[in-house]
Amino acid sequence: MKVSVYAAGSRRFVSFVDENEIPVQPLADAFIYSEFLNASFSTKKRIAYELKILLCYFELHGIELSNRVASGNFLSSNEISCLYGQMMLRKESLGKIQKTSNTTAITSKKIRNAISASNHNSYKVSCETRTGRIRTLRKYLSFLFDYFHGDVVPPKGLIGAFQTMQNRLKAKENYSTTKSRAQPVELSESVIPDNIYKQFLQIIHPSNSKNPFLNCKLRNYLIISIIAQTGLRRSEVCKLKISDCQFHGDFNKISVYATPDDKSDPRINRPDKKCGRPHMSGITPQLMREVQFYITNERTKYPKANSHDFIFVAEKNTHATAGLPITREMINYIFSKVSASLNFKFILIF
């Protein structure tokens, strides 16, 4: 089973399908579009992936949730405890016996314990991820209970048993939401060494002999330069539109704002501004003129670019995508090429 993302007109949907793209979890699909109908698409997709992990876990342990809820045979305290232990793990570690390195040759018990603890923690997810999985399960169980028992007045004993199960899950949520011990710190030095950053700014210029790109040099230079000057995230650069650029007056401002599920965006995985209020980001007038040159002289070469307002487009016609808006994966590729040329790994946290 997998989560499939597909488009129907200008709208996007998620569904649980098998290897032949045939829907296999109609109740799970109905849950997402009943409980999260007005949520953003990214939220729907997150819920779908959380629910997939849960459904795969129960399938692995021979538990059919819908049948259990329909029959009133709810999850026991022991089943919830076992589930919680697994929901603490990364998805690739679920249901697997963890193999750790042999530490018996180390004589110090403290060192052996430290190594074992480190190995165990490497398989664990964050507190927020764990809580999200448990919360999604609790909401899905409520949906199933309403689906099977909502049209009749259920016996008091059935309602009580269901509430007991939900309270146990709620307690696990509360147990997970302890305050993080992580504290913000002030960086005392640059993440990128000054000499590397200087080379980075030089090598991305289209006229530089060490530029790692054979094609798309101007576009890639503009993307990296905008990120360097404004600090915008990859998604925010991907969704920049021509109308967002101030090609007048001071010639140095770009509008940054959220457009959840933009219907004009032909991409399946639509990028969006992560958080914060709408604002203006400043760039140098020279860079703004270079962006204008790209729009006027390069972007117009691709007929499909006329169908949308997004600035940066694919220039290779792989899968007939030339002229369509670029994706986050393209920006990842751009940085990986520059990283290889500089022999320095850029960690993309934006």
Q: pLDDT, tens digit, for every residue of 131-163?
A: 999 999 999 999 999 999 988 888 888 999 999
Q: To which H or E segment does residue 67 belong? A: helix 65-71
Q: What is the pLDDT of residue 312?
A: 96
Contact 308, 321 (CB under 8 A): no
Q: What is the pLDDT of residue 274?
A: 66
In angstroms, the CA 66 to CA 170 distance is 20
* Tokens linked to 251: 């010639």
Rg (CA), the chain: 25
Phi-psi map region of 62: left, alpha, beta (phi>0 left; psi -120 to 50 alpha): left
Single-letter residue type at 72? G
Kindly write down the DSSP assignment for every residue of 30-64, as one continuous string.
Answer: HHHHHHSTTS-HHHHHHHHHHHHHHHHHHHHTT--
Tell which CATH architecture fits domain 194-342. Orthogonal Bundle (1.10)
Residues 6+ apart with CB under 8 A from 338: 200, 203, 204, 212, 224, 346
Q: To which H or E segment does residue 26 belong? A: helix 26-35
Q: For the chain, what's the residue count?
A: 350
Residue 118 has pLDDT above 60, yes or no: no
Q: pLDDT tens digits, residue range 204-218? A: 999 999 999 999 999
Q: pLDDT tens digits, residue range 36-78? A: 988 888 889 999 999 999 999 999 899 999 999 999 999 999 9
Q: Where are the chain's structural domains?
A: 2-98+114-176, 194-342
Q: What is the pLDDT of residue 177?
A: 52
Single-letter residue type at 290? E
Q: What is the pLDDT of residue 347?
A: 64
CA 40 to chain centre: 13
User: What's the pTM?
Assistant: 0.64
Kindly write down the DSSP assignment for every residue of 112-155, as one continuous string.
Answer: HHHHHHHHHHTTBPPHHHHHHHHHHHHHHHHHHHHHHHTTS---
Strand 253-256 with 2-8, pairing: unpaired
Q: What is the pLDDT of residue 38?
A: 84
Q: Count the Cβ atoms, other than its own, within 10 Å of residue 128.
A: 11
In angstroms, the CA 204 to CA 209 distance is 10
Crossing angle, helix 41-60 and helix 26-35, to 10 degrees? Answer: 150
Contact 134, 173 (CB under 8 A): yes
Helix (H, G, I), strand (E, B) or coil at 222: helix
Residue 260 vs residue 286, higher pLDDT: 286
Q: What is the pLDDT of residue 111?
A: 57
Contact 92, 122 (CB under 8 A): no
Q: pLDDT tens digits, residue range 271-280? A: 877 666 889 9
Kindly write down the DSSP assignment for every residue of 79-117, as one continuous string.
Answer: HHHHHHHHHTB-GGGTTS-------TT---HHHHHHHHH
State the chain's mean pLDDT as an integer.
85
Residue 101 has pLDDT above 50, yes or no: no
Find, among 93, 73, 94, the residue nearest to 83 by Cα.
94
Single-letter residue type at 343? N
In angstroms, the CA 5 to CA 171 distance is 33
Single-letter residue type at 91? K
Helix (H, G, I), strand (E, B) or coil at 235: helix
Q: For residue 4, list its beta bridge partners.
A: 15
Contact 272, 239 (CB under 8 A): yes
Contact 290, 281 (CB under 8 A): no
Residue 130 has pLDDT above 80, yes or no: yes
Residue 87 has pLDDT above 90, yes or no: no
